[in-house]
Amino acid sequence: MKALTLILVWTWITVPLGWGVYQSVLKSLPLFGITAVAK
Amino acid sequence: MSFLSREATIASPGFSRWLVPPAAIAVHMCIGQVYGFSVFKKPLARALGITAPIAGDWSEADVGVAYSIALALLGLSAAFFGKWVERSGPRKTMLASMVCFCSGLALTALAVRWHQLWLLYAGYGLIGGIGLGLGYIAPVSTLMKWFPDRPGMATGMAIMGFGGGALIGGPLAEELMERLHTDTSVGASEALLVMAGLYAISMVFGAMLVRVPKEGWKPAGSEPKEHVSKLVTTANVTVDTAWKTPQFWLLWVVLCMNVSAGIGILGQASPMIQDMFKVTPKAAAGYVGLISLCNLGGRFFWSSMSDIIGRKGIYCIYFILGAALYASVPWIQGQGSVTLFVVATGLILTMYGGGFATIPAYLRDLFGSYQVGAIHGRLITAWSVAAILGPQLMDRLSVANKKVMPPEQAYNSIFHLMVGLLVVGLISNLLVRPVDFKYHLAENTPA
């Protein structure tokens, strides 16, 4: 139960943070001459 | 005993301290939205004209003032409410932060709808700014109490969340405005309301989850270290005494110089790389994205490293390596290497973020954990000053230089100035000594 709570709580913050990091990685791709496929 | 009181948040036996970082990050990643506020500048500057600015529309500079007010209020409210934050505990403070920050966003939405500039300043700048200050310091001091064995890593996690808030807030606002705009609205008002709702949920989540450790609690299996730096005290210093010590003001200069040197680059990153290396605007936007990631990663990495190297040592690295990298940029430009430029400035930005994240642990080392949140609150005024000093220096010098030299050479003197700022920071850091015993709180005083 304790482990499940920890997983759920960490997921709550890692999902939006991961999305934000992903958006920044996509934004930075043109610097390397790579075209992003997804928006 | 109120549900919101400090006593109500004391953890029961068996509570995992690893539940506290997500509570802190949940708040910080919301208030970090302030760094992504710039995405609203263009839409708000054509709120009346919708497709293009018309007479009566705000200018982008008008809109930008709200951001400056918010950052100034962050520092002022953190300094002013620091003692209240320590007294009231993290839950009440986080909820107060949520009320201020989210109602600030909602008022901003109304300001856009009614086209009232004063309401934008009062909502986003004043009320929202107070929410930023409250939300910034409360989780940080709570985390340090839970992780006395790794305070640098703990504060790094929370303050990394603040950096992450910019990475979420910017794209989220763009996505929402894209979906919610109509023929009669740029979508900013609607986006701000949705964001206020989402952020309120996340911040309430953090406030419900947060706990403080019981008096005298220590992490299981933690042994007192044999070789502890002389700078790390076991005594406590109150906030009213702390800011009368030379150590407080030396750290104030340390933070102010470190932030000034980094924030100048952040604000000018896109035009700077375009002027210096003639890259396309799209690639320049990519550069901004990349250094934002460096800023984020540095907050956790360097702050965690400070638990091993020591706080004074890690700031020496920030200042010496930072100054060397800044000094090398004109040479790198001469080589025409964009890659080297990106690596050098990216590294500088990791240390900019690291400087933010390490300072609370440095304060704890010097002044103890008793009122470290309130002391941190007062030190944050250095950030407010740097937020004005750094961009102003960069803007004014680059504009003046561009009048008398080609744009690609206009930044060299700025980099030399940044080296100077970092040297001032280094000297201040080297002057830091343990706090004199006369400032310590008497041992029998209840902490």
Cα separation of B345 and B351, whole Å? 10
User: What pLDDT, on the 0 to 100 scale, is given for residue B447?
Assistant: 47
The string of DSSP letters for chain A reads -HHHHHHHHHHHHHHHHHHHHHHHHHHHGGGGT---S--
**How do residues B219-251 score in pLDDT, each as one tens digit?**
887 665 655 678 887 788 999 999 899 999 999
Q: Mark yes or no for CB contact B22/A24 under 8 Å.
A: no
Q: Mark yes or no for CB contact B29/A17 under 8 Å.
A: yes
Closest CA to B383 of B103, B73, B61: B73
pLDDT of B98 higher than 50:
yes
- Percent of chain B residues past pLDDT 90, beyond the cut: 57
Written as one letter, the residue type at B105 is L
- Residues of chain B in contact with residue A9, where contact means CB-CB under 8 angstroms, are 19, 22-23, 209
For chain B, how far is it from start to end, CA to CA, in angstroms? 20
- Residues of chain B in contact with residue A28, where contact means CB-CB under 8 angstroms, are 286-287, 289-290, 293
Best of A5, A12, A14, A27 to substitute, by most chain B Cβ atoms within 10 angstroms, is A27
Name the DSSP class of B225: -
Computed on alpha carbons and rounded to an integer, the radius of gyration of chain B in Å comes to 22
pLDDT of B94 higher than 90:
yes
User: What pLDDT, on the 0 to 100 scale, is given for residue A39?
Assistant: 42
- Residues of chain B in contact with residue A25, where contact means CB-CB under 8 angstroms, are 289, 293
**How do residues B314-368 score in pLDDT, each as one tens digit?**
999 999 999 999 999 999 988 888 889 999 999 999 999 999 999 999 999 999 9
pLDDT of B2 higher than 90:
no
Mean pLDDT of A12-17: 94
Q: Mark yes or no for CB contact A21/B167 under 8 Å.
A: yes
- pLDDT grade for B6, boundaries at 50, 70 and 90: confident
Return the SS3 of B212: strand
Closest CA to B17 of B205, B138, B151: B151
Sign for the CA dihedral angle at B400, B323, B391, B339 comes to positive
Q: What is the mean pLDDT of chain B?
A: 90
What angle, rounded to 10 degrees, do the helices at B381-404 and B246-277 form?
Answer: 30
User: What pLDDT, on the 0 to 100 scale, is given for residue B1?
Assistant: 57
User: What pLDDT, on the 0 to 100 scale, is given for residue B196?
Assistant: 97
Query: Residue A6: which of B19, B167, B280 has the nearest Cβ?
Result: B19
Mean pLDDT of B399-419: 86
pLDDT of B427 higher than 90:
yes
Q: How many contacts (CB atoms, under 8 Å) link A and B?
A: 79
**How do residues B33-89 score in pLDDT, each as one tens digit?**
998 888 888 899 899 998 888 989 998 888 888 988 898 899 899 989 988 998 899
- Residues of chain A in contact with residue B11, where contact means CB-CB under 8 angstroms, are none
Cα separation of B370 and B372, whole Å? 6
User: What pLDDT, on the 0 to 100 scale, is given for residue A34?
Assistant: 56
Q: Mark yes or no for CB contact A17/B289 under 8 Å.
A: no
Contact B389, B331 (CB under 8 A): no
**What domains, with CATH codes, occur in chain B?**
16-209 (1.20.1250.20), 239-439 (1.20.1250.20)
What the block records as the tokens of B26 is: 């949940």
Mean pLDDT of B106-114: 96
- Give backbone dihedrals phi and psi of B46, rounded to 5 degrees, phi first: -135, 35
Query: In DSSP terms, which residues pair with B10 in a beta bridge?
Result: B212
pTM score, two decimals?
0.88
ipTM of this model?
Answer: 0.88
- Residues of chain B in contact with residue A29, where contact means CB-CB under 8 angstroms, are 286
Task: For residue B236, give how far its alpha carbon lies from the nearest alpha carbon of chain A (Å).
Answer: 33
